[in-house]
Amino acid sequence: MTLSPDTLDLDACAREPIQHSGAIQPHGCLLSCAIDDLLIRHVSANAEALLDIPTDELLGLPLSEVFETHVLDALAAL
């Protein structure tokens, strides 16, 4: 399934209590950032295994140093 602004229910996403998540699925990791500067503020413990960057080095990085432009463009479109 391809996600687009038409297929996403952003209100449902906003109600998700991700700050209380008990676990991150093994095929993904969690990075959170502020929308104004896109600096990574929080990372899940498994982020290093998937991104090959130590979690302490991810903190404070802009998303542009972790993901390619086409990924950032897709996020911006949402």
Q: For the segment 24-37, what is each residue's pLDDT rounded down to a tens digit?
A: 777 888 899 988 89
Residue 7 scores a pLDDT above 70:
no
Q: How confident is the model at residue 5 (pLDDT cuts 50, 70, 90)?
A: low
Please give the average per-residue pLDDT across 9-27, as a whole number.
Answer: 71
Q: Which residues contact 62 (CB under 8 A, 6 or more apart)?
A: 37, 38, 39, 40
Residue 57 scores a pLDDT above 50:
yes
